[in-house]
A and B are shown apart, each in its own frame.
Chain A
């Protein structure tokens, strides 16, 4: 540091600031005031946070009253950067229509990027609001169709968000 800078710095401090103790007392006053302000803490397991529609939680498959929307085109599996999705298609009774006989998402691999949702032509795979995803075993983390299918009523916020902003 040059001598010029030093002079400037000492000019900036007044006598009381150089004494240091009054400034510490001021700092102590500031922290003391904070002690009586309400805390920001959320008591998590009891008090849960409810995300809005824009939240990207666990990806799920949309289930309508007539059945699942997914037509097993495999685009989500193709686009997934983490290679987390595996789809196996099978024919339905109707001509030219298919359904996923096996649909698995490996939640250890999933990075919640929502590319699968973006690429899906049927709006069949969407991001839900689930955020506390816990496994005790790697095998458990591979979610099959029975865990992925969610009734459409529960996904209205996300579908609304997609209609507006996608």
Chain B
């Protein structure tokens, strides 16, 4: 590889990373706004409407408030871990975006630019699973280092919950991997080309349901938001956090929600594939227009799932801890193993 190629690669990756990280942070604040608006609509209220048009600037006002607040570290806390925990949470939430493909590729000045930092990473799926699992360290460390029994309980719940649901999540993914024959995210998307009934959701419906339920648990969203159950745990793992450190947990939670939505869209709803064969648009592969169409297709799917996450949160009450565990171990795990088994048998029998 010569110097020009390396320079081009570094510049390309740097620009893409910069743009994507910024988009994630803005998206997180947009999600906060959407969350509050949808919650308000469901409860027949108006939601934030004072700061900016339709209250759109509300999350930014919140961030300014969080920056201004005093940053308290409890005297009895384990100080370094207390500082590390929110950082770890946010880092893992953002790191996942490295492998998510936002559209196919664009040809720029004779170079083929893939939209996404490393969408062709051949272990992309594994990478995402690894990173989302590491996210639990942030929450567990936060709960433990605060030296507060409620925080500790929240952290423990979170680790138990994540480990339980990680299993069924992985087993559900095996079905998808068997059908696609690859762990590369662009490869999974390529398999779902054509009309929308080629999407994985129609050939792996059980995997889709299990994966969606498990990702609710993975992102600590209602109905599985036990780590931050206000009525029982004062606030959960983040009780002893204030200022922007609390804000980072908040940000990580919403970034995780967006990740889960991206992930569901990619694995089960064709990612950036249009709902009809893309030849119908009459656009050349690698043209900017086609990439835009693909990106908007992906973005709409992702937004719909973010909306779904919020919608479920304001509909379903929180699970009890034993219910959560029995759902994870007694129902989802056997179901996902059976699903993987039957998929494997079907692939051998029908020579797919």
Given A21-B209, A28-B311: A35 in contact with B316 (beta carbons within 8 A)? no
Interface residue ranges of A1-50 to B (CB < 8 Å) = 21, 24, 27-28, 30-32, 34-35, 37-41, 43
| Interface size of A as a range | 10 to 19
Shortest B35–chain A CB gap in Å is: 14
Shortest A43–chain B CB gap in Å is: 8
Verify B316–A39 contact, CB threshold 8 A: no
Shortest A1–chain B CB gap in Å is: 13
Complex CA–CA separation, A65 to B44 (angstroms): 48
Closest Cβ neighbor of B38 among chain A residues: A35
Checking B38, B45, B312, B316 against A41 with a beta-carbon cut-off of 8 angstroms, the contacting residue is B45
Q: Which of A24, A31, A32, A40 has the most CB of B within 10 A?
A: A31
Complex CA–CA separation, A94 to B312 (angstroms): 76
Verify A35–B41 contact, CB threshold 8 A: yes
Verify B315–A27 contact, CB threshold 8 A: yes
List of A residues within 8 angstroms of B73 by Cβ: none
Verify A24–B315 contact, CB threshold 8 A: yes
Closest Cβ neighbor of A34 among chain B residues: B42
Given A21-B209, A35-B38: A28 in contact with B315 (beta carbons within 8 A)? yes
Q: Which of B38, B40, B311, B315 has the most CB of A within 10 A?
A: B315
Verify A27–B316 contact, CB threshold 8 A: yes
15 contacts between A and B (CB under 8 A): A24-B315, A24-B316, A28-B311, A28-B315, A30-B315, A31-B311, A34-B41, A34-B42, A34-B43, A37-B44, A38-B44, A39-B40, A39-B46, A41-B45, A43-B46
Q: Does B314 contact A (CB under 8 A)?
A: yes
List of B residues within 8 angstroms of A39 by Cβ: 40-41, 44-46
List of B residues within 8 angstroms of A37 by Cβ: 44
List of A residues within 8 angstroms of B41 by Cβ: 34-35, 39
Verify B44–A34 contact, CB threshold 8 A: yes
List of B residues within 8 angstroms of A27 by Cβ: 315-316
List of B residues within 8 angstroms of A28 by Cβ: 311-312, 315
Verify A35–B315 contact, CB threshold 8 A: no
Complex CA–CA separation, A32 to B41 (angstroms): 9
Shortest A53–chain B CB gap in Å is: 29
